[in-house]
Amino acid sequence: MHRDIERALRECFHPKKGKPNLRKVPVNMERARQHIDKAHSNLRAMKMMFDNDLFDWTIICGYYAMYHAVLASLFKIGIQATTHYCAISAFKKFFVEQGKVESEYINYIKQAKHLEEEYAETLEKAQENRVVEQYGIEVLSNDDAEWIIEDAKDFVLKIEEVLAE
């Protein structure tokens, strides 16, 4: 996994073609707060979708709540992401992975308390399900979507803790 993340980050920061999908920017807590606000909006939408038996959109909204929380965490460390894949790769590297990172990021990783691996797995599961639900025609049940309600809330709250430190 470590090499895959390193390769992904290299390509995201320095693509062979086109503009970078990850770039270093000044730390921006205002943008981080805006993404957390958007995450909370998505949590509210997720709950409304679930309560109205729109389980495919429950998963999609839950995914986007977590995705905006990831974007918030990256702005806290001065990284701007323009694609989901690159944002999640950077999140894994700088908040989840317990290996060595550039010294400037060590304090951020300590502040984040090395976010538990389960949060990255939750985000990946939501991303995979979001693609299936957004473009597929399968009918979902309450049980198919119920898992994301608490996981998305926990994920956003965990990122808020990181931002507050």
Per-residue model confidence as pLDDT tens digits over 7-54 = 989 999 999 999 999 999 999 999 999 999 999 999 999 999 999 988
CA distance 83 to 42: 18
Number of domains in the chain: 1
CA distance 50 to 65: 14
Query: Can you name the residues that pair with 80 across neighbouring β-strands?
Result: 23
Q: Look at the pTM and tell me if it is higher than 0.85.
A: no
CATH assignment of the domain containing 34? 1.20.120.330
Per-residue model confidence (pLDDT) at position 149: 80
Domain that holds residue 44: 2-164
Contact criterion met (CB below 8 Å) for 46 and 152: yes
**How far, in Å, are 45, 63, 153 from residue 133 at the CA level?**
16, 11, 20
The position carrying tokens 């390509």 is 11
With CA atoms as reference, report the closest residue to 89 among 157, 3, 151.
3
